[in-house]
Structure 1
């Protein structure tokens, strides 16, 4: 009896050790593997892949197939702007990090303005920002649009030391006010905004689209 109990305990310990050494790969709601935010795959054609998606190439339909149908899709806008077409997941899990996932779709201002006009309903989000739900025809048309940028807001705070440990030393740092700075990784198409008093933002774009993003960050310094 004692030998059987001891064997059971040893087997349980071995299982725990195996799980610690070889953790299961996290999956999206559609069952596909979702890599952590610091695993950025460089593709032969110059693009990158993160979370299983390729900025500038993957479409909204492909994102929903890979991550599941739980993505909310809407035009997000303040009163003084046209806004952006976004797909977002408020509780996204990747690796051992959870947070909010935001996919910004490639759509021109005229198309976005028309989507807002045809929206059957809008809701307030934060402050005066509104979320315009899409009409059925616009929802169907949006499926073929490519993803311009992928944003990830982790639920846990990331300081500069943690970022460098996971992503490596940035190519450049840009200050943005007293409490914020941007860590730039142009070869990976990645901008990490560090905020001492708020949430961090990881923004992924196609490497060839990084120069315009950097120029925008410099203008907003």
Structure 2
């Protein structure tokens, strides 16, 4: 049973790949962005609490975020495995996720990081901003977002390295090729750590499904 994280800088394509990989592995893809939007839309108690911070332009505290994620991981579809996108982002969230899984006798299987050179990320994000009319997404703003990723999220990834469950995957090239590399990386980590492999190699045509 695979419980994994997919991480990568803005513009790395991890949202697209998360959907593809979760389909191939038969596990649910869970985006923290979706969790926030659901709770706010449904006006759950956690959603109301988070909205207070969001309306003021403040970061939602780890405590609130952790409780939202814990609630989502308790849902039946996540019991069969999951792929988390966008969490954890801080050392405190790493500890919280460990505690959530340990409570049920589980642990993370794999942490995948999509790597893309900054110059290509800037180019991708500027192109997307132009296409979607995001005038505020200037090269300076985009570079700031990338700097924050390097300063904060990369430290989170490093915290998993000692567990020998991290695989860094080249996020450049054709989407199908990246999907194949990701699947092989998941297989390799599970094989290395002694977990039963659940991934089979797929060809480009298969990856379209």
Q: TM-score range by the shorter chain?
A: under 0.3
Higher strand proportion, which one?
A: 1
Point out the structure with max Rg over C-alpha: 1
The TM-score, its normalising length taken from structure 1, stands at 0.22
TM-score normalised to structure 2 length: 0.23
Tell which has more relative contact order, 1 or 2 (C-alpha 8 A, sep 6+). Answer: 2
